[in-house]
Amino acid sequence: MSQILGTRVRQIREGRRWSLRETADRTGVSKSMLSKIERDAVSPTATLLGRLAEGLGISISQLIGGEEPCGDVMFMPAREQPVFRVPTTGFERRSLSPVAHGNGSVDFVANILPPLQSSGTFPPHHDAVEETLVVAVGRLRLHLGAAQYDIDTNDAIYYRAHLSHRFDNPSESETALFYIMVNNAAVADTS
C-alpha cells in the first residue's frame, strides 16, 4: 500500500500545484517526511496518515484508495479494498465503502487492532464530521480528547470527531471494529 500512497500524495499535491513546503504547512507533516512518503522510503503511521488526509481536505479512504467511478452497485472483494497497515503495530484500516463520489460524505471503515496495540492518535476532524463505532470482536479503549471510553463486543458509540482520537486494544485478543464516518459539510454541499 505504501507505493500507492506515495504516488497518491504526490498526485494530489502536484494537482493542486502545492510545493512540498506548502503541503507541509497545510498538513503539519514535515517537508522531509512528505518527500520520504512520496518516494516510498517510509510507511507513515496512522497519525501521519490522519494529518495528511485532514490537511489535504479529504478522507483517509480517499487518500489510500483514490476515487474510482461506480455505478448503482459496486462489489468490493476483500483483495480490492483499500487497506492501510502500520508495520510496527499491525494496526489495519480497511475502507469498505466506495469513495467515488468525491465528496467523502459517508465512509464505512473496518479496523483491526492486534492484542495490546494502538492505532496511534488521529488529529481532530472539522466540526461537521461525526462517527458511529461498534466493536465487532474484542474490547476497545477509545480516547476522545481527554475522555476515555471502554467499549466491549457489540457496544456502540457515537461522537463528533472534532477531538483528537485514538483506538487502543487493552486485551490479549484481537479487536475488530467498524465505524461509519459522516461528513455533514459534504452532505450539505451536495444538497
Q: What is the pLDDT of residues 40-82, one digit of tens each?
A: 888 888 888 888 988 988 888 888 876 666 678 888 889 888 8
Given this model, what pLDDT does residue 40 score? 87
Give the three-class secondary structure for 179.
strand
On whether both 57 and 93 belong to a single domain, the answer is no
Q: Is the pLDDT of residue 191 over 50?
A: no
Number of domains in the chain: 2
Q: Is the pLDDT of residue 101 over 50?
A: no
On whether both 55 and 94 belong to a single domain, the answer is no
On whether both 163 and 110 belong to a single domain, the answer is yes
**Read out DSSP for 102-156?**
SS--EEEEEEEE-TT-EEEEEPPPPTTEEEEEEEEESEEEEEETTEEEEEETT-E
- Domain hosting 138: range is 83-184
On whether both 88 and 126 belong to a single domain, the answer is yes
Give the whole-angstrom CA distance, residue 166 versus residue 121.
5
Q: Which residues of 60-83 are buried (b: 16+ CB within 10 A; e: fewer)?
A: bbbbbbeeeeeeeeeeeeeeeebb
Given this model, what pLDDT does residue 128 score? 85
Q: Is the pLDDT of residue 134 over 70?
A: yes
Q: Is position 191 within any domain?
A: no
- CB 56 within 8 Å of CB 26: yes
Q: What is the pLDDT of residues 83-97, one digit of tens each?
A: 888 889 999 999 888
Mean pLDDT across 127-145: 95
**Assessment of whether the complete model's pTM goes beyond 0.75:** yes
CA distances from 157 to 50, 130, 174, 177 (A): 21, 11, 19, 11
Q: What is the CATH number of the domain that holds 29?
A: 1.10.260.40
Mean pLDDT across 99-104: 52
Task: Please give the residue that has the higher pLDDT: either 61 or 31.
Answer: 31
Instruction: Enumerate residues 6+ apart whose C-beta is below 8 A from 183.
Output: 59, 103, 104, 105, 106, 107, 125, 128, 129
